[in-house]
Structure 1
Amino acid sequence: MEPNQQCEFAGALTPNNRQTQFIAKHVRIILTERGYSHSTVERGVREAIRTYHHEGNFPRGKVFDVCLAAALHLVKPIKIKTKPAAKSPKKSVPHFNKAA
């Protein structure tokens, strides 16, 4: 391999054609608008591009939607189920008899 040549797999996860450039650009815009940090946005972009390269069966016209969904699934915060708070015992209120 000559020094100027790249391995065919070297750019697999980088934007190297129009489709991946489109996906990377728009996923980056959407994630940035939603307030994610730069490193999280880049992780989402890599996941969207990886999905584009590895997914074989996209529904007609849904390529970008599937890639965006994969990116959002990767970067969404993990919600941990918590146990419901223990009920505090009811405070008893003294009852006063009003005897005449």
Structure 2
Amino acid sequence: MSARADDTHADNSSGDLISAVVQAVRRVIDDPVAEVGTDSLLREDLGFDSVLIMQLKYRVEQAVPELGELSLPDMVDSMTSVGSLVAYLRDRLVKAAV
């Protein structure tokens, strides 16, 4: 596989992960058309509390099974925005692939 094909695959995987997290957020807040982007702040913009964070963890685990079971204490620091959560999950996927 060429470097260009690897880059395209990485971009698609990243886009898939972003999409999966955004959809999980929308399901948790029960608003399928909510404006949710990588810069959306989970607590301040979207009203996440500890119960919603637990639900989001479950939804993400269901949407991206290759992540395995996620550790909530490890996730909490990365859950300031949708983008920071995606970055944390992407890092876990990379580590899992090694």
Q: Larger radius of gyration, structure 1 or 2?
A: 1
Relative CO higher for 1 or 2, CA cutoff 8 Å, sep ≥ 6?
A: 2
